Amino acid sequence: MRRATLLLALLLAALAARPVRAQTPAEWLARGVRSYQDLDYDSAAARLRTALDSAGSPALSDSERVWALVYLGATELFREHRDSAAAAFGRLLLLDPRYRPDQLVFPPEVSSLFQEARLTTRAVTVAAPPVTRITSAGDRFVVWLYAPSYHPVDVAILRANGVPVRGLYSGGVGDSLQVLWDGRGDGGAAAESGRYVLRVDSRGGEGRVVRSVELPLDLARERADTLPLPPPPGDSLLRPEHTAAKTGARALATGLVGAAVTMVLPSVVSGGSSGMGERFAVAGALGAAGIVGYQLQRRPQPIPENIAANRVLRRAWQQQADSLRAVNDARRRELRLVIRAGPPRVVATP
């Protein structure tokens, strides 16, 4: 019996010495909400702050942080820590300016203090598509600003080193505001490839900047695709422009035979006289005619109708090629940008 008792004591000691698994931030959040619902506000505040401050993995998502902050604000209000409650609501509004407490979950005094925190919060959140392509005159990089309350803001594009590129907006922002950028600087020239930031400065009642948010941008200029030029008309499409060359033997033979006959039959040529000069003259003329005919038949002769048809075909090809060259020149002059936006970051706070 004494031995069994000793073994049991050793087992309990070993179990007590085993490390307890650390709770995740999400588990601390769930315990804090349960404590709030049980009206144990001191425990709720401690557990909710642990969930928000914990570096455990996985960390709270933005939506979970909003959930923790609204319960923390309500908890601190019921603990009569009004300033701490307002601070929690202010942190919430910086995460999600459009959040409103559920009036079915939280009583009117929580909604009232939350509304007060809204009216004193001068900040915006920035949302933009991760990738934007500007390939035509009407394309724009679209940025949405969301604010808890109306206040003045300045929106500008700057280079990564802080050099201003273009001011986009200066004025008031209410619940939301859309800001557009066409990828050009103040002078109208397209921005060069590189790193930029879209900066939003929120101003307080005295006009001073109380908070700034920057959206990092990676801009790349792309070359437009050009169209290939059409190939010139091939031989299979063109008509022959000259006749085929002949040997000319027939014309030569005819001329030579005529000359021979002239020499043999002087009576036919000279009217019965035996004049050698006339016979030689006629024979020479016939022989020369045969040689000329021989040369002419060996030389290709142009075919006018085929030449005209080929000219029309070549002109049509030239017009098409010139048109495509003009299109390619216009495409090379087009503004083609790809803008990639990173996650926004707060660079200045009150």
- pLDDT 10s digits, 16-31: 444 445 788 999 999 9
pLDDT at 8 over 50: no
Instruction: List Cβ<8 Å contacts ≥24 apart for 6-10.
Output: none
Same fold, 22-120 and 125-223+336-348: no
- CATH architecture under which domain 22-120 falls: Alpha Horseshoe (1.25)
Distance, in Å, from the CA atom of 199 to the CA atom of 166, rounded to the nearest integer, reads: 11
Joined together, the tokens standing for residue 109 give 């005094």
Question: pLDDT tens across 164-194, in order?
Answer: 999 999 999 988 999 999 999 998 888 899 9
| Cα 237 from chain centre | 43
CATH code for residues 125-223+336-348: 2.60.40.4070
Return the residue matching tokens 């941008």.
217
Question: pLDDT tens across 105-137, in order?
Answer: 999 999 999 999 999 999 899 999 999 999 888
Collapsing DSSP to helix, strand or coil, 195 comes out as strand
Q: Predicted confidence band at 274 (pLDDT cuts at 50, 70, 90)?
A: low
Joined together, the tokens standing for residue 237 give 């499409």
pTM of the complete model: 0.62
Which H/E stretch holds residue 51? helix 41-53
If one counts every other C-beta atom within 10 angstroms of the C-beta of residue 79, the result is 14
Q: DSSP string of 325-342?
A: HHHHHHHHHS--EEEEE-
| Whether the Cβ atoms of residue 128 and residue 340 lie closer than 8 Å to each other | no
Domain boundaries, the chain: 22-120, 125-223+336-348, 249-333
Q: Residue 217 forms beta bridges with which residues?
A: 196, 341
